[in-house]
Structure 1
């Protein structure tokens, strides 16, 4: 791990400008991507959520850079507990399940399904839940059992949830019918 690069991540912020600068640094220096993935996948590292923020932006623009790290990523999914990290990680899962260009293995799909179901049950953050339920919906087209699990989870009482969460639930339930 390059200490100088680690410090760059540690000093980054949630501001879009900071995240974009870090993303652009990786685009200009792709040899540092392995360090970024290492930090993002080390859920015990106090800065892993910052690495996840940057990784999300990289995956949104240049997913092909991330594909070699897909197994490591999927193996780590069950360990994410920070809502700040899960927001970015669940969005990466959505990008992956939306992709027409890249295919997930059965094992990778299973790990994404398992993690997404857990996050949907445990998270009370609307954005995390929205990305998670959309990724699960995408996978339910191939894995029919996910369709029923998703319906059950989404039909729970969500009167205490935000309008954004309720809107996402309504949209996915409509698609599941």
Structure 2
């Protein structure tokens, strides 16, 4: 399948779990499609890129390790993604990566998520926190930043400042997640 064929197929992806999972499994069963999926994802001004993001998120949920050979491309380009329906899955994938990296059970993400990839994820998560993003990317970013703060001692103080500064102006969903994170940070 070419990138153009994948692009055409992504027209059939919608919000349904069934469609997203179908295309995620298509990619899982043919890992050579991941680079093509990323190529579509990083056509950041094209609405089809959002559908590629949805499929990538589902693929990562099913098997995050499939992203390992593509971590450089993924982390080098995530800052370009700006359409709301694509930002949420990017933030979720960043959270998956952070959770895997800090998991107690040894896994391949821990071996391959090097400091440059971590720094790119941290930068995009702070961008999501300080810019006018919806609650989901902010919530995923809070958790990602909290986790990476275990190794980067400057993250937690910055995160506290942002959460406390924005607390009153944000939604109840933001407030609930922020309270949870702040409570963990102040232990």
TM over 0.5: yes
For residues 5-44 of structure 1, the aligned pairs below 5 Å read 5-44=6-45
- Bigger drift between 32-41 and 157-166 goes to 157-166
Q: Which runs of 4+ in 1 moved over 3 A?
A: none
Residue 109 of structure 1 is matched in structure 2 by 118
Q: Which moved more, 1:24-33 or 1:130-139?
A: 24-33
Q: Matches of 2:151 and 2:48 in 1, distance apart?
A: 35
Partner of 1:60: 61
Unaligned runs of 5+ in 2: none
Cα shift at 1:113: 0.9
Which residue of 129, 132, 151 corresponds with 2:160?
Answer: 151
CA distance in 1 between partners of 2:63 and 2:129 (Å): 27
Contact 1:123 1:129 (8 Å CA) reproduced: no
Query: Which deviates further from its counterpart, 51-60 or 117-126?
Result: 117-126
Residue 83 of structure 1 contacts residue 123 of structure 1 at CA under 8 Å; is this kept in 2? Answer: no
TM-score of the superposition, structure 2-length normalised? Answer: 0.89
**Cα distance, 1:125 vs structure 2:** 1.2
> By how many angstroms is 1:21 displaced?
1.2
Contact 1:97 1:135 in 2 (8 A): yes
Contact 1:83–1:128 (Cα < 8 Å) also in 2: no
Task: Name the counterpart of 1:142.
Answer: 151
**Shift in Å at residue 28 of structure 1?**
2.5
Q: TM-score, length-normalised on structure 1?
A: 0.94
1:100-154 per-position Cα deviation (integer Å, ceiling 9, x unaligned): 3213211111111111101111134111110011000010110010111100000
Aligned to 2:94: 93
Alpha-carbon RMSD across the aligned residues, in angstroms, is 1.4
CA distance in 2, matches of 1:66, 1:37: 10
The 3 A distance-change label for structure 1 pair 119 and 13 is same
**Which residue in the other structure is 2:46 paired with?**
45
Alignment partners' CA distance in 2, 1:127 and 1:67? 24
Report the Cα distance in structure 2 between the residues aligned to 1:81 and 1:3, rounded to whole angstroms: 22
1:79 & 1:33 partners in 2: Cα distance?
18
